[in-house]
Amino acid sequence: MEDDFKITSQELPAAIESILFVSGDPVSVDKLADICNCSKNAVNEAIKSLMDRYSGNPWSGLEIRKTEDSYAIMTRPSQKKILDRMFGPRQVPPLSQASYETLAVIAYNQPCTRAQVELVRGVSSDSIISRLLDRGWIEEAGNLDAPGRPSLFKTSRKFLTEFGIESVKDLPPLELMSYQTIRDMEDSLKEAAGGEDKQISIESLMAPKPENEEGEDNDGDA
């Protein structure tokens, strides 16, 4: 059955803005084109117009952020303090240095198995991978065609969105793996995001680590 729904180019930016607003999650260009019954080129042009409008308005608390082939409307990181006053600080269990190390191993070797992660780290990573799955920063990506068909893992769209990275291609150089502190990792991710504050701060998720526990994990990770 032919879809006779029509929308003008003048109406398209407002339509896309409405879709992104009510969705909450990133919406792909293909889905936007399907909903609006228009071409992907028309969608891309409308989104560019919207992004220019948001970025050019210093009084707006919102921005449109691209993640891979999808877009989402989000609050600007600069509004974090006022939103904390509204909702209260988020009680998110802190992650350890080992958790971020495991996340980096997966990000730079994805998709990879638990065994491959442990080969790089030299220790068991089962509990850490489970914690990263719970946080939503990694996800399963099928199974390796090998005996036992072990699960493969990759970083998620939530990881890209919350760290302000458009694509895994924008990850900092591989020397991230030799960083000694979470601050070094956060600074490098910030640089990869274009020098702007990320939607989420690693610092806000991390508990300070006492100097005498530098080689241990605060959350029991190996």
In a domain, 198, yes or no: yes
Looking at the 3D structure of the chain, how many domains does it have?
2
Residues 204 and 115 grouped into a single domain: yes
Are the C-beta atoms of residues 198 and 161 closer than 8 Å to each other? Answer: no
* pTM as predicted: 0.59
Residues 51 and 153 grouped into a single domain: no
Range of the domain at 41: 12-75
In a domain, 85, yes or no: no
Residues 47 and 110 grouped into a single domain: no
Q: Is the dihedral of CA 168, 174, 175, 178 positive or negative?
A: positive
* pLDDT at 16 exceeding the cut of 80: yes
Helix 40-55 vs helix 29-36: crossing angle, to nearest 10:
110
In a domain, 30, yes or no: yes
Assign residue 29 the CATH number of its domain.
1.10.10.10
Residues 146 and 179 grouped into a single domain: yes
Reported as a single tens digit per residue, the pLDDT across 53-98 is: 999 999 999 999 988 889 999 888 888 888 888 887 666 667 788 8
Reported as a single tens digit per residue, the pLDDT across 178-220 is: 444 445 555 665 665 555 544 443 333 333 334 443 333 444 4
